[in-house]
Structure 1
Amino acid sequence: MLADEDTYAVLRSRDGRFDGRFFVAVVTTGVYCRPSCPAALPKRENVRFYRSSAAALEAGFRACKRCRPDTTPGSPEWNVRADVTGRAMQLIADGLVDREGVGGLAAKLGYSERQLRRQLTTDLGAGPQALARAQRAANARTLLETTDLPASEIAFAAGFSTIRQFNDTLRKVYGTTPTALRGSRPANHPPGVLHLRLAYRPPIDLTYLFAYLAERAIPGLEEATTTSYRRALTLPHGLGLVTLRPAKAYVSCELRLDDYKDLAAAVRRCRRLLDLDADPRDIADHLTQDPHLADSVMATPGRRVPGTVDPAEMAIRAIANEETPAGKTLLTHLIHTYGTPVHGIHAFPLMHTLTDPDLPPPITAMATALTTGTVNLGPEADRDQAERDLRTLPGIQEDTIARIRMRAFGDPDVFLPADPAVQEGLHRLGLTAQQAHRWRPWRSYAMHHLITPGPPHCPNVRGLL
Structure 2
Amino acid sequence: MLDADAAYLALKARDARFDGMLFVGVTSTGVYCRPICRVRTPRRENCRFFASAAQAEAARFRPCLKCRPEIAPGRTEPWTVMDASRTLAQQAAHWLDQHAASGGKASVETLARTLGITDRHLRRIFVAEHGVTPLQYLLTRRLLLAKQLLTDTDLPVTQVALAAGFTSLRRFNAAFVERYRLNPSTLRRRSGPRASSADALTLHLAFREPYDRGAMLRFLSQRAIPGVESVGDTTIRRSLRLRCDDRELHGWLQVQFVAQRPLVRVDLAPQFAPASATLIRAVRRWLDLDAVPDAIDLALRDLPGSGIRLPGALDAFELAVRAVLGQQVTVAAARTLATRLAQAWGEPVATPWAAEVSRLFPAARQLAALQPADLGALGIVRQRAAAIIALARQWDALQARLHAGEPASALIAALEAVPGIGPWTAHYIAMRALAWPDAFPPGDVAVLKAMNCSAREAEARAQAWRPWRSYAVLRLWHALAQPISLGSPSR
Query: What's 2:182 paired with?
Result: 176
Query: What's 1:213 paired with?
Result: 220
- Picking from 266, 279, 287, the partner of 2:300 is 287
Structure-1 separation of matches of 2:179 and 2:164: 14
Q: Which consecutive residues of structure 1, in runs of 5 or more, have no partner in the other structure?
A: none
Residue 12 of structure 1 and its aligned partner are, at CA, apart by 5.0
Residue 115 of structure 1 and its aligned partner are, at CA, apart by 3.7
Does residue 328 of the first structure (1) align with residue 335 of the second (2)? yes
Residue 348 of structure 1 and its aligned partner are, at CA, apart by 3.2
Query: What's 2:368 paired with?
Result: 355
Structure-1 separation of matches of 2:419 and 2:435: 24
Would the aligned equivalents of 2:217 and 2:233 in 1 still touch at CA under 8 Å?
yes
Range with bigger deviation, 115-124 or 439-448: 115-124
Would the aligned equivalents of 1:79 and 1:410 in 2 still touch at CA under 8 Å?
no
Residue 303 of structure 1 and its aligned partner are, at CA, apart by 1.1
Query: What's 1:441 paired with?
Result: 467
Matched residue SS, 1:195: strand
Structure-2 separation of matches of 1:228 and 1:63: 30
Task: In structure 2, give the amino acid aligned to 1:159.
Answer: G
Residue 38 of structure 1 and its aligned partner are, at CA, apart by 4.2
Query: What's 1:18 paired with?
Result: 18
Matched residue SS, 2:182: coil
Residue 58 of structure 1 and its aligned partner are, at CA, apart by 2.2
Task: In structure 2, give the amino acid aligned to 1:413.
Answer: D
Would the aligned equivalents of 2:331 and 2:486 in 1 still touch at CA under 8 Å?
no
Task: In structure 2, give the amino acid aligned to 1:331.
Answer: A
Matched residue SS, 2:438: coil
Deviations 1:184-221 (A, max 9, x none): 66477541411222210011111111111111011232
Q: Which consecutive residues of structure 2, in runs of 5 or more, have no partner in the other structure?
A: 352-357, 373-384
Task: In structure 2, give the amino acid aligned to 1:448.
Answer: L
Alignment of 1:126-275 (within 5 A): 126-183=132-189, 186=193, 189-237=196-244, 238-248=249-259, 249=261, 250-275=263-288
Does residue 391 of the first structure (1) align with residue 395 of the second (2)? no
Residue 60 of structure 1 and its aligned partner are, at CA, apart by 1.3
Deviations 1:60-118 (A, max 9, x none): 11112332222210112258899334443334333455242314444444444444333
Structure-1 separation of matches of 2:399 and 2:264: 36
Alignment of 1:88-127 (within 5 A): 88-96=92-100, 98-99=102-103, 100-102=105-107, 103-127=109-133
Q: Equivalent pairs: percent with the same residue?
A: 36
Would the aligned equivalents of 2:423 and 2:442 in 1 still touch at CA under 8 Å?
no
Aligned residues: 451
Residue 172 of structure 1 and its aligned partner are, at CA, apart by 4.0
Matched residue SS, 1:196: strand
Residue 432 of structure 1 and its aligned partner are, at CA, apart by 5.0
Query: What's 2:359 paired with?
Result: 346
Does residue 317 of the first structure (1) align with residue 322 of the second (2)? yes
Structure-2 separation of matches of 1:13 and 1:462: 44
Task: In structure 1, give the amino acid aligned to 2:210.
Answer: P
Structure-2 separation of matches of 1:221 and 1:112: 44
Task: In structure 2, give the amino acid aligned to 1:57.
Answer: E
Residue 325 of structure 1 and its aligned partner are, at CA, apart by 4.3
The two structures have a TM-score, normalised by structure 1, of: 0.85
Structure-2 separation of matches of 1:303 and 1:417: 21
Structure-2 separation of matches of 1:351 and 1:113: 36
Would the aligned equivalents of 2:90 and 2:405 in 1 still touch at CA under 8 Å?
no
Alignment of 1:372-391 (within 5 A): 372-373=397-398, 376-379=401-404, 381-391=406-416
Say if 1:161 and 1:107 are closer, same or farther in 2 by CA, change over 3 A. same
Deviations 1:315-371 (A, max 9, x none): 222122185344334423443444443225333333233323514221122223322
Query: What's 1:427 paired with?
Result: 452
Structure-2 separation of matches of 1:89 and 1:347: 32
Task: In structure 2, give the amino acid aligned to 1:284.
Answer: D
Would the aligned equivalents of 1:78 and 1:87 in 2 still touch at CA under 8 Å?
no
Would the aligned equivalents of 2:23 and 2:56 in 1 still touch at CA under 8 Å?
yes
Residue 45 of structure 1 and its aligned partner are, at CA, apart by 5.2
Query: What's 1:408 paired with?
Result: 433
- Picking from 307, 310, 330, the partner of 1:305 is 310
Would the aligned equivalents of 1:311 and 1:378 in 2 still touch at CA under 8 Å?
no
Task: In structure 2, give the amino acid aligned to 1:218.
Answer: I
The two structures have a TM-score, normalised by structure 2, of: 0.81
Task: In structure 1, give the amino acid aligned to 2:140.
Answer: A
Structure-1 separation of matches of 2:235 and 2:79: 26
Say if 1:447 and 1:125 are closer, same or farther in 2 by CA, change over 3 A. same
Would the aligned equivalents of 2:32 and 2:63 in 1 still touch at CA under 8 Å?
yes
Deviations 1:18-63 (A, max 9, x none): 2222333233432222233344555555443333212221221111
Range with bigger deviation, 384-393 or 211-220: 384-393
RMSD, aligned CA: 3.1
Structure-2 separation of matches of 1:427 and 1:303: 21
Structure-2 separation of matches of 1:273 and 1:177: 33
Matched residue SS, 2:239: strand
Would the aligned equivalents of 2:100 and 2:164 in 1 still touch at CA under 8 Å?
no
Structure-2 separation of matches of 1:385 and 1:157: 31
Would the aligned equivalents of 1:269 and 1:310 in 2 still touch at CA under 8 Å?
no
Structure-2 separation of matches of 1:111 and 1:277: 28
Task: In structure 2, give the amino acid aligned to 1:420.
Answer: V
Structure-2 separation of matches of 1:355 and 1:375: 17
Would the aligned equivalents of 2:70 and 2:145 in 1 still touch at CA under 8 Å?
no
Residue 2 of structure 1 and its aligned partner are, at CA, apart by 3.8
Deviations 1:113-156 (A, max 9, x none): 44433333222123333323222222322332333333233333
Task: In structure 1, give the amino acid aligned to 2:312.
Answer: G
Would the aligned equivalents of 2:437 and 2:471 in 1 still touch at CA under 8 Å?
yes
Matched residue SS, 2:359: strand
